[in-house]
Chains A and B, each alone.
Chain A
Amino acid sequence: MTGRDLLWASSALVLLACLALVLLIVLTKVTRTVRERRTAELVAPHRPHLLAVASGEDEGGTHRDALIEVDGPARDAVDVVVVDLLGKVRGAPAEELASVLLAHGAVDRAPHDLRDRSTLKRARAAHILGLCHVGAALPLLVQALGDPAPEVRVAATRALGRIGEPTASAALLAAVGADRVVPAGPAADALEGMGVGISGSLRDALSASSPTTRTVAAYLSGEGSFSRSLDALRVALACDDDPTVREAAAVALGRMGRAADVVALLRETGADRPRALRRACAAALGELGEPSAVVGLTALLGDPDPRLAEIAATSLLLLGPAGRSALDSAASNPSVETARALARLQAGAA
């Protein structure tokens, strides 16, 4: 083959590829448009029933029964809408919608679908099991936390959060730091949905090897005021390798610490500590509300970091008469003036 032949062949190939791509683009748009139209047509007759059930206005159950009766291609289309709605409603309407999926067999199929080769099917199955609060599927969903596909792992995480069974919390926290990682965001959301039963897992997770797991545990310990984590949080604040974990521990101690934690928090406001940690600890001392922090915070008013000084002033305002009295002695400090001005504006707004 000569150079010219090669050039001809390459040009022809590129031209064909371009035409194929144009065709693909057009076909993609046509297919999507037709599918959306078809789905809308299939769902249209049942939309009043769907809305009635989702809005809790199906007192006699007639609308739900009408949805259960749907069969043929419309059933799948209705199921898709039901799944969407289940993500948006709570309480009795959610239970009614779940009963439609149950009657259509979608819930019974889901455990089987969790082992399907299709990623989409597995993710959807996990989603349905969570939406319908199928507690019996817990072991399968925990197993799905290690699924090769990130989409399935996230769907399983959310499903565990919806089911809300705290026995899954240890596995979920471990999955946050696993090789096939579960993203920390959805994991934290799911753990929040599991209630007070996760306190032991959170405490244990604060000594996990993964800093992401420790961060999630520290954050949630503070959010939920899980006092079982207190000792582990103190250790994390004092000597964790990761600055993000230390900051999360400081915030958590600010929310639920004890008077004894003032010393530890003040120690971390030292000039040799990272700037972000110093600021987090100064804010935490205000949150903690212990008057014993007044002296330490007052010393920070003259810090070269004006942001830290302002946070210290704001924290002193939160410490009641002792804190406000300390601010009087530094009234001309710009950080104090700023904190007071902002407090006045906020008070005026309230």
Chain B
Amino acid sequence: MSWDGFVDGLRTGVVWLMDITSVPILVYFAVINLSYLLLIVLASIDFRAQHRRREAVVETFGGALSPGVSLLVPAYNEEMGIVTSVQALLSLRYPRHEVVVVDDGSSDGTFERLRAAFDLVPIPRQIPQDVPVRARIVDVHVPRDGRTRLVLVRKENSGRSEAINVALNAATEPLVAMIDADSILEPDALLRVTQPFADDPIRMVAAGGAIRPVNGSRVVSGRIVKVQMPKPWLARIQVVEYLRAFLLGRTGWSRFGALILISGAFGLFRRDVVVEAGGLDPDSIGEDFELVLRIHRKLHDEKRDYRVGFVPEPVLWTEVPSTLGVLRNQRRRWHRGLWETLWAYRGMVLRPRYGKVGMIALPYYWVFELFAPLLEFFGIIIVPLALVLDVVNIPYAILFLSLAYGLAILVTLSAMAAEEWSFHRHERWRDLGLTLVASVLENIGYRQLTVWWRLEGWWASLRRKKQVWGVMTRTGFGEAGE
């Protein structure tokens, strides 16, 4: 075949492809963005009222029905920050909470640092196997002072999920919160996030707390003292992304009564429900998502009246990736976890017995979360190809792209407006300006890269390639005053 013939054939193929896909893709874009806007509107309705109520909760220091909380902290080679983290967790404002640290076979000085800082002594406690755990427990320590509510369990290395399951078994309070050792909780976070459990002690089984990037903010002794935008644009864009997807999106789903994802970095659960469900699945990549879906399935199967909610007040600050390599690993893992979990729970999709979860949330995640990068990738390939082959004119293509990305920017700006109206965590004008710029820049390069990485993760799963967690290189919180 001659070159011209090849080009003509390709041109015909591209025209055919564009003909059959243009309307469905436009409809897809419109629906996905409208759904985002709808979620943001739902979230906004909740924001201000909840904000006022939470202040009252903070003033009354929780209240009579505030359940006790066990903070489950898996730690693997965290010697640099573990003492500060545990001290910060122990000093949270809450009437009754304990910290259960599980040292997951660290090879550094994690245990020694904790032993020295809290004067730990061993006790012969046997940890129950409420949730079966494969790894061997080495020993259990508590502070010598007999007052500090800290328990340290050492076990052989077997991963984060098993570490959390061990902590779950060792926990003694009715609520458990899974927290990463390298994150920062706000001092009043527990008072706020337990509020739905105190308000509805029978039906509330799980609640997610809002997570925000800590990069760039000023941290002193494990406490955020000034919220600021980070300097690198990569992190700035993630600030905007977290705001839109995690804060507004999940509040919207919660308001709608179909929240199916609580981030593993900070989730609060009724201990008995997690135990009944079997704890975290150590073989799952998206273990947090998988757990929540398993709880939904179990409670629906048992026809129990229950609630899963989200607390939008920013409560946990975490460091987001500041290099492309780490970000790539994270996004690959997230999408792989999304795919594997959705596939594992495909039996719930469009089944009326699973209510809104089965009829709306899960189909939505399949169509607009799982397949979104595939369709976007198609657009990224086909539009430049069509331009090169001269089958669409340039102004038309630019117009099409402007509309597509304009809608995405509109969604982000709506999320920012809702945030500014309710929480307004970024006080400086400069930060507001940077956030606005980041909402535009997100669509130039960043978005396309994440599309590719997500597809990589999906592809790796389909090829049954072993998941490598990689190392989350942390630059630290820029601690001041220490």
Residues of A within 8 A of B (CB): 4, 7-8, 10-11, 14-15, 17-18, 21-22, 24-26, 28-29, 32, 87-88, 123, 150-151, 154, 158, 183-186, 188-189, 192, 211-212, 215-216, 219-220, 223, 242-244, 274-276, 305-307, 309-310, 334-335, 337-338, 341-342, 344-350
List B residues 119-172 near A (Cβ within 8 Å). 121, 123-128, 130, 142-147, 172
Give Cα A215 to B127, complex, Å.
29
For B195, B406, B424, the residue with the greatest tally of chain A CB atoms inside 10 Å of its CB is B406
CB 8 Å contact bits of B403-432 with A (1 = contact, 0 = none): 100110110011011001100100001001
Residues in B whose Cβ lies below 8 Å from that of A87:
56, 59
Give Cα A275 to B402, complex, Å.
59
Give Cα A310 to B272, complex, Å.
18
Residues in B whose Cβ lies below 8 Å from that of A150:
49
Q: Are B403 and A25 in contact (CB under 8 A)?
A: no
Residues in B whose Cβ lies below 8 Å from that of A24:
417
Give Cα A58 to B231, complex, Å.
50
Give Cα A142 to B436, complex, Å.
47
CB 8 Å contact bits of B282-308 with A (1 = contact, 0 = none): 000000000000000000000000000
Residues in A whose Cβ lies below 8 Å from that of B421:
28
Q: Which residue of the partner chain, among A25, A243, A337, A345, contacts B146 with CB atoms under 8 Å?
A: A345
List B residues 55-104 near A (Cβ within 8 Å). 56-57, 59-60, 63-66
Q: Are A219 and B65 in contact (CB under 8 A)?
A: yes
Q: Are B195 and A185 in contact (CB under 8 A)?
A: yes
Residues of B within 8 A of A (CB): 49, 52-53, 56-57, 59-60, 63-66, 121, 123-128, 130, 142-147, 172, 174, 195, 198-203, 272, 275, 396, 399-400, 402-403, 406-407, 409-410, 413-414, 416-417, 420-421, 424, 429, 432, 436
Q: Which residue of the partner chain, among A88, A223, A306, contacts B64 with CB atoms under 8 Å?
A: A223
Q: Are A25 and B199 in contact (CB under 8 A)?
A: no
Q: Are A29 and B424 in contact (CB under 8 A)?
A: yes
Residues in B whose Cβ lies below 8 Å from that of A25:
413, 416-417, 420, 432, 436
Residues in A whose Cβ lies below 8 Å from that of B123:
337-338, 341-342
Q: Are B402 and A341 in contact (CB under 8 A)?
A: no
- Report whether over half of chain A's contact residues are helix, strand or loop; otherwise say mixed: helix
Q: Besides the contacts A18-B409, A220-B64, A344-B146, what 14 more A-B pairs have beta carbons closer than 8 Å?
A: A8-B399, A11-B402, A14-B406, A14-B407, A18-B406, A18-B410, A184-B200, A186-B199, A188-B198, A189-B64, A215-B201, A216-B201, A334-B125, A346-B146
9 closest A-B pairs by CB: A183-B199, A345-B146, A185-B198, A306-B126, A349-B146, A346-B146, A21-B413, A14-B406, A188-B64
Q: Which residue of the partner chain, among A189, A211, A338, A350, contacts B125 with CB atoms under 8 Å?
A: A338
Give the total number of A-B pairs whose CB atoms are below 8 A apart: 153
User: Quick one: given A151-B49, A220-B64, are A32 and B410 in contact (CB under 8 Å)?
Assistant: no
Q: Are B436 and A22 in contact (CB under 8 A)?
A: yes
